[in-house]
Amino acid sequence: MLSSDCLWSFSSTASVAARSYSHGKQETDEEFDARWVTYFSKPDIDAWELRKGMNTLIGYDLVPEPKILEAALRACRRLNDLASAIRILEAVKDKSGPHKEIYPYVLQELQPTLNELGIPTPEELGIDKA
Amino acid sequence: MLATRLFRLVGNRNLSTSICLRGGHGVAKVEDYTLPAYFDRRESPLPDIKFVQQLSPEQKSLKEKEKGSWATLSKEEKIALYRISFKESFAEMDKGTGEWKSVVAGIFFFIGFTGLVVLWQRKYVYGDVPHTFDPEYKQKEVQRMLDMRINPVEGFSAKWDYENNAWKK
């Protein structure tokens, strides 16, 4: 999760716990990221799990870290699903909202993976324009 | 039973379930609305089903090619794969409809129409105004107000020049 002590001034920096409760240990950002990377890195992940994971992740109030997205893109590769990989990139851009600097950063971090797997960006395909 | 299995291979879901019904097993027909549906949603980027369910032969061979290295796919093939799975891209689903222009146009139109109705009413519906609106009567009213020294300090009569019988310049 990209927290505010990095480069952007978000209004809230709190790590995101899956449940909100005042007692108990709060999950740190690193734990959150690690959990999601593990989820997508499952070798025999199936299509439903990929969809469920992505839709849940996009539902959170954050933009996923590049390492989570890399694991998700590799999951798409294992499932032979190029369309979902492109869709994930679109969703990241959409999730950044007004913070226009996030998407180029994420693409920059993901460039080695994109090149390795042969995943085009939505801009390269021209589907980022209506 | 064999017939249902045969039809299931062909992929005709409704026919197979209706055969089950004739077989007397009491299976309810699967309604379309109960099946997973396709949605283009910002908050749910990967829908439950692909957009295109029946693939043409070219699309099927493209899907086979997808199992290999993606770097060998051309740009058009990649777009074709995207369009098989998804109906609209994020940009397309988010774009506005321009409906607001119709709404504003409608507002102006009906305001204009109301104006016409009001004008027509003034001419054909309302009777004459009372005689107290006549210019001569109005003059007499003003004179009476000045005689009564209405608001002589800062208001009405204060603006009248009583020496010269005219409004103050």
**Does residue A8 lie within any of the structural domains?**
no
Phi and psi for A46 in degrees, rounded to 5?
Answer: -105, 175
DSSP state letter for A67: H
**Does residue B61 lie within any of the structural domains?**
yes
Is the minimum CB–CB distance between A43 and chain B shorter than 8 Å?
no
Chain B residues contacting A via beta carbons under 8 Å: 42-48, 66-67, 69-73, 75, 78-79, 81-82, 84-86, 89-92, 94-95
Model pTM score: 0.70
pLDDT at B41 over 60: yes
- Listing DSSP states for chain B in one string gives -HHHHHHHHHT-HHHHHHHHHHTT--PPP--GGGS------SS--S-SS-S--S--HHHHHHHHHHTS-GGGS-HHHHHHHHHHH-SS-HHHHHS---HHHHHHHHHHHHHHHHHHHHHHHHHHTS-PPPGGGSHHHHHHHHHHHHHTTSSTTTSTGGGEETTTTEE--
What is the band of A7 on the pLDDT scale with cuts at 50, 70, 90?
very low
Q: Which residues contact B168 (CB under 8 A, 6 or more apart)?
A: B159, B160, B161
DSSP state letter for A97: T
B118 shares its domain with B142: no
CATH no. for residue A119? 1.25.40.40
- Listing DSSP states for B55-96 in one string gives --HHHHHHHHHHTS-GGGS-HHHHHHHHHHH-SS-HHHHHS-
What is the band of A64 on the pLDDT scale with cuts at 50, 70, 90?
very high
| pLDDT at B18 (0 to 100) | 54
**Does residue A1 lie within any of the structural domains?**
no
What is the band of B5 on the pLDDT scale with cuts at 50, 70, 90?
low
**Complex ipTM over 0.90:** no
Give B62-75 pLDDT, tens digit per residue.
999 999 999 999 99
Q: Which domain holds residue B162?
A: 131-168
Report, as an integer, the average pLDDT of B121-133. Answer: 93
B71 shares its domain with B118: no
Query: How many separate domains does chain B show?
Result: 3
Is the minimum CB–CB distance between A30 and chain B shorter than 8 Å?
no
Contact A62, A25 (CB under 8 A): no
Query: How many separate domains does chain A show?
Result: 1
Which of A56, A57, A58, A116 is most worth mutating to test chain B (most B CB atoms within 10 A of its CB)?
A: A58
- Taking CB atoms and an 8 Å cutoff, what residues of chain B touch A63? none
Report, as an integer, the average pLDDT of A45-66. Answer: 96
CB contact under 8 A, B81 and A83: yes
Give the tokens for residue B118: 């009001």
